[in-house]
Amino acid sequence: MGEGQRINLQGNHACALGAIAAGCRFYAGYPITPSSDVAERMALELPKVGGVFIQMEDEIASMGAIIGASMGGAKVMTATSGPGFSLKQENLGYACMVEVPCVIVDVMRGGPSTGMPTRPAQGDIMQARWGTHGDHPIVVLAPSSVSEAFSETIRAFNIAETLRTPVVLLYDEVVGHLVETVQVPDPGSIARAERKWATGPREAFQPYAATDDDIPAMARPGDGYRCHATGLTHGERGLPTQNPAEVERAMQRLLGKLERHRDVIDRFETFAAEDAEILVVAIGITARAAKRAVAEARRQGIAAGLFRPVTLWPFPEQPFHALAEQAKAILVPEMNAGQLSLEIERLSGRPAKVARINRLSGEPIEPAEILKIIEELARHGR
């Protein structure tokens, strides 16, 4: 990560430091394992930079508080885990609809319900995409190391601010509690994106006007621009509407805006994937196990490769397509009953060539287990 300080840092703390570096100045949250270290660190760091930390009365209020603070002009974040993420979904939908920039961290533990608080899982992959009701735009980033917990948090803020959208940072308990030796860059070297504020004549301002880039300018409180924010379907003036043509236009823009800005959203990592006949697709700690398994398979002469979506949603479809087409088999190891594999089957062109490893025990999937299935696929195909 360039010049800076070489330290041992925990994943959750890296997320907090990344948030501060990105310009986050408001955090509201409610403690929940395994995400509480994010709140602890924010409580220590925010006062140093003139920011505000609030421990709210519950998860729902925490989500409400960051939405309000963002409307007030601050860069904002909250962190939680599955049970809390469930509670946040209604307000998260509101943030998607009203287009409020915010970052929500979900550190995945065993579920459903209160599940296993201290054990890792990857069971919120679909919830992160579809947890709140109705069609809605949302971006989900999936770091797999402490270093990435830092850098992807910064990217989460930059995407949220640039595209006026909630961004979910999704990682498993292992990544959250993992301590790794990392190079933390100087805060001054971090590129920060700022949101587009309303300018020009106040009378002509329309809070949801479809601008050139489909991202409406926000009204900064105190600047004198009139603004109405509602979860009801609204037209360009921000007022509720059920006029079919107006609704269609508003929703097409809302749902299409992320697709138009794939260049700032898409991110993925490949390893030995160019000529891979067996392509492994994984996120989080599972992706790191997969990388070692792929390296070992290559040493054995098996043409294995890795595709790791760093941006999980919207899925980086285009770069994946070509690799998926050339692969004879695709393997999706994940700590759930099969979620990422659903998307991979959809994108693979031939669902039958997608094999799965699913883990529900609360233990991470080990490299040896992935290697074993790669070897089987190499021997018997799919």
Partner 1 sequence: MSHPVELRLSGSGGQGLQFSARVLAEALLRDGRTVAQSQSYEPTSRGGVSRSDLVVSDGDIDYPLVTGLDYLVILDEVAAEFPPTLLKPTATLLVDESRVQTRVAGPWTIRSSPFAEIARALGNERAGNIVALGTLLALSSLCSSASVAAALAAETPPKFLDLNSEAFDAGWRLVQPTPAAEAAHARA
Binding residues vs partner 1 (CB under 8 A): 6-8, 33, 117-118, 145, 174, 177-181, 285, 288-289, 291-292, 295, 364, 366-368
For the bound state, the minimum distance from the C-beta of residue 80 to partner 1, rounded and expressed in Å, comes to 16
In Å, how far from its chain's centre is CA 77?
12
11 or 64: CB nearest partner 1: 11
* Entry field: residues in the chain: 382
Q: How many CA atoms lie within 13 A of 225 on its CB side?
A: 23
Least distance in angstroms from the C-beta of 181 to partner 1: 4
Give me the least distance between CB of 172 and partner 1, in Å please: 12
Looking at the Cβ atoms of 29 and 364, the one nearer to partner 1 is 364
Query: Rounded CA gap, 192 and 204, in Å?
Result: 29
Burial class of 294 by CB neighbour count within 10 A (0 to 12, 13 to 18, 19+):
buried
CB of 33 to partner 1, least distance (A): 7
Residue 288 CB, nearest approach to partner 1 (Å)? 5
Which two tokens mark 333?
């190891």
- Cβ atoms < 10 Å from Cβ of 202: 12
Of 11 and 207, which CB lies nearer to partner 1 in the complex structure? 11
Q: Is 354 helix (H, G, I), strand (E, B) or coil?
A: strand
Nearer to partner 1, 41 or 353 (CB): 41
Q: Answer positive or negative: Cα dihedral of 121, 272, 183, 42.
A: negative
Identity of the residue, 11 or 51, whose beta carbon is nearer to partner 1 in the bound complex: 11
282 exposure class (CB count in 10 Å sphere: 0-12, 13-18, 19+): buried
Q: Compute the least distance from the CB of residue 270 to partner 1, in Å.
A: 15
- Of residues 285 and 324, the one with the C-beta less far from partner 1: 285
DSSP character at residue 229:
-
**Terminal Cα distance for the chain, rounded:** 39
Closest approach of Cβ 279 to partner 1, in Å? Answer: 18
**Closest separation in Å from C-beta 254 to partner 1:** 39
Q: In terms of CB distance, is 76 or 294 closer to partner 1? A: 294
Among 54, 56, 105, residue whose Cα is nearest residue 82: 105
Give the E-state strand segments of the chain in sequence order: 5-10, 26-29, 52-55, 76-80, 102-110, 116-120, 139-141, 166-172, 179-184, 268-271, 278-281, 304-309, 311-313, 329-334, 354-358
**In this complex, which beta carbon is closest to partner 1, that of residue 7 or of residue 126?**
7
Q: Residue 80 or residue 162: which is nearer to partner 1 going by CB? A: 80
What is the smallest separation between the CB atom of 32 and partner 1, expressed in angstroms?
Answer: 11
Q: How big, in percent rounded to 5, are the helix, strand and coil portions of the chain?
A: 40, 20, 35
Candidates 349, 296, 357; CA nearest to 326 is: 349
Tell whether omega for the bond before 367 is within 30 degrees of 0, i.e. cis.
no
